[in-house]
A and B are shown apart, each in its own frame.
Chain A
């Protein structure tokens, strides 16, 4: 709000003191705003680059193919945009806007990469998956030359289910207990354990397979079986569960713990009745994410589970196939014709769908901070407070 200029402080020009300034109407200043000029500059640069590259492309520039076209378009777009922005705004603003556009492209590209990979596998896999026998037969009576109406991946699906179930059974209690140790008991052992867990999350999965092969199969004399594969998967999954759980358990407010201790609860009671339920959402996310990782692991399973074409319901005895192993075999080892590769894509379709479902479940489960109530819980509490 500008104050009126008083006659005492008014500048005296040759004609005498200037009249009180008319204050301009107040205008709200928006910091970041999509202006008409900004949007039109963007669109103009994009269209101009498209036209330019279209004309110049295969005639003048020595590149060929779709990839080259879009890369040239992007370079031309950036140059045109910088030039057009330079005509309108000062250099500082131009640099800022060009940086915005360049970084935005990186974000969009990563999305595009994900969609491309998942979309392609789903698209190619549809050919095999639309036959019901894909889900009801194993490959015991079908070979590379059989049409897609015979044979399926039932044995791989059951094998995956059993192996991931056993692996979760081994990995989750150990991982959550290790996380509780790091967060609750602490002490001088907590730091080396934490460092080792962080290092183990990045363990190459081949090493886990080699380890279980050396331990279970060579030393203990087990066969190549689903159980050995689930042990290898558990070795891979356990550090993920431990590290994610530790983060979630540490976020539980200290006041809750202290309140529980003040009421006389022992440490294990506090952990069981206060900490774990409060961290339940985060723990569920950690477990589901570890399962999503474990279900797609190929290398440890490759070394420890053997391969079979038949349905094997017994994880302890005899080789057992899982989805990644099925894909590996029919897309790489036995990839004799296009038909068999379609089966591999069908298994890839199934695997991608399962991972997407698990991933969505993890996002839905983990959306809340500890202590935050769901809508249903809030409604129940208001209902109880009001009436019942």
Chain B
């Protein structure tokens, strides 16, 4: 009956309209579960931090002897404390730039073909082919590069040097005759093989970006009378621009860190080799891997310092690339992949 009201015995007046926080009690098993997962997430951060820490601590002991001259010395003599990355770093960048110059057009063209032009039946096979290219271990590419590709491509690089030698970076100083050894271990050849490693990185990411172009805009272009190429040029490419830039930065990170291919092909020199068709070049990763065997404790510290620089550069490039991709219209739709 309406009159039998149970008296309110709470401390607050019953019509006090205050918000209350709703707390879902977590069961004990779930507390443990979430704790374990949180520990795993923190462990990932800790591992990255440890990498930075260890490289820093071990590398600093070498840097103490050399100081800031580490960034301006061009040689690597551990005993006399004259070592630095002033020539390692530009040589690394030269090889990475050559690889990117070849890889970017090839990868974008392949990605456009797969996402826009290929018949539907071929699409899965072509995507699998690009993924297979990404899965090839770099040591197999290095084997192929040094045993097969190097011999075959010398003709091309000597042709370039002979006929385009007026462009300064293609000129090759020939000591006496034009021996093949003037051309075999050049940054050009290393860059061409590294580009085979970079192409799948850029192509698979670009393909995902291009396939996210909105269908409405595509159909609008067709409705206005555009051909397929016109639609690609006006809708797909501008949409995917930021995603492609991000993919390029990820490819750059990959090219900067490539060790084995460069180690196999290049003969290490310590001058900044601007003549890309001539033998001689270097890269930080290849130098570290190559020198490691014979390095004493001080040498290992110096190599760790060089590795730290490489790690910092690769980290910056990759994080920038991820940020560019995630903030773009095309990348945000490509669910963090």
Q: Which residues of A contact B190 (CB under 8 A)?
A: none
A106 interface hit (Cβ, 8 Å): yes
Q: Which residues of A contact B315 (CB under 8 A)?
A: 199
- Kindly supply a per-residue 1/0 record for chain B positions 112-141, scoring 1 wherever the CB is within 8 Å of any chain A CB and 0 otherwise: 111011100000001011111101111111
Contacts known (A64-B159, A189-B42, A351-B140); A107 close to B110, Cβ less than 8 A:
yes
Q: Which residues of A contact B335 (CB under 8 A)?
A: 247, 250
Contacts known (A110-B129, A268-B30); A204 close to B41, Cβ less than 8 A:
no
- Kindly supply a per-residue 1/0 record for chain A positions 301-339, scoring 1 wherever the CB is within 8 Å of any chain B CB and 0 otherwise: 011000000000000000000001001100110000000
A198 interface hit (Cβ, 8 Å): yes
**In-complex Cβ contact of A185 among B37, B110, B303 (8 A):** B37
Q: Evaluate contact between A299 and B285: CB separation under 8 angstroms.
A: yes
* Interface size, chain A (Cβ < 8 Å): 102
B310 interface hit (Cβ, 8 Å): yes
Main secondary structure of the interface of B (DSSP, over half): helix
B238 interface hit (Cβ, 8 Å): no
A292 interface hit (Cβ, 8 Å): yes
A64 to B228, CA, bound (A): 37
- Kindly supply a per-residue 1/0 record for chain B positions 323-334, scoring 1 wherever the CB is within 8 Å of any chain A CB and 0 otherwise: 000000000000
Q: Evaluate contact between A177 and B288: CB separation under 8 angstroms.
A: no
Contacts known (A117-B141, A202-B257); A193 close to B45, Cβ less than 8 A:
yes
A196 to B213, CA, bound (A): 28
Q: Which residues of B contact A203 (CB under 8 A)?
A: 51, 257, 311, 314
Interface size class of B (residues with CB under 8 A): 35 or more
Q: Which residues of A contact B253 (CB under 8 A)?
A: 202
- Kindly supply a per-residue 1/0 record for chain B positions 301-328, scoring 1 wherever the CB is within 8 Å of any chain A CB and 0 otherwise: 0011001001100110011001000000
A68 to B106, CA, bound (A): 18
12 other contacts beyond A293-B137, A345-B143, with CB at 8 A cut-off? Answer: A95-B230, A105-B109, A106-B110, A109-B106, A193-B41, A203-B51, A206-B307, A207-B311, A208-B51, A348-B140, A348-B143, A359-B135
A-B contacts, 7 listed (Cβ < 8 Å): A99-B228, A103-B116, A113-B196, A174-B43, A199-B319, A250-B335, A268-B33
- Residues of A in contact with B (beta carbons under 8 Å apart): 62-68, 92-93, 95-96, 99-100, 102-107, 109-111, 113-114, 116-118, 120-121, 124, 174, 177-178, 180-182, 184-185, 189-190, 192-200, 202-211, 213-215, 218-219, 235, 238-239, 242-243, 246-247, 250, 266-269, 271, 289, 292-293, 295-299, 302-303, 324, 327-328, 331-332, 341, 344-345, 348, 351-352, 355-356, 359, 363
Q: Return the 7 tightest CB-CB contacts between A and B, nearest first.
A: A296-B137, A204-B257, A106-B109, A177-B40, A268-B33, A96-B227, A181-B41
